[in-house]
Amino acid sequence: MAHVDDQRVARVLDALEAQRPGAQLLVNDPWSIYYLTGFYADMFERFCGVLLARDSEPVILVNALHQL
């Protein structure tokens, strides 16, 4: 089961906030998603991503063709 690393996500969001206040980040590299959330799924040509935003839980987006 995936476990979001709150410290890692906070570090990424702090760096993002310093550049663009109020910005959100969509991460779609499988290893970056794993680093931030503990969730790994290599979808090959299908989309898989995680949306990071301040004051919000990370949202993992997985293509509906894959049953995870």
Q: Give residue 52's pLDDT.
A: 93
Q: Which residue in this structure is represented by tokens 């990071």?
A: 52
For the whole model, what pTM was predicted? 0.76
Pick the CATH number of 6-62 from 3.30.70.100, 3.40.350.10, 2.50.20.10, 3.40.190.10: 3.40.350.10
pLDDT of 40: 84
At 46 the pLDDT is 81
Taking the domains of the chain in order of start, what are their residue ranges?
A: 6-62
Q: In the prediction, which pLDDT does 67 show? A: 61
DSSP 55: T
- What is residue 44's predicted lDDT score, i.e. its pLDDT? 77
Q: List per-block mean pLDDT (blocks of 10 residues) for the chain, which spans 68 residues.
A: 82 93 91 88 82 89 70
Question: Residue 7: what pLDDT?
Answer: 93
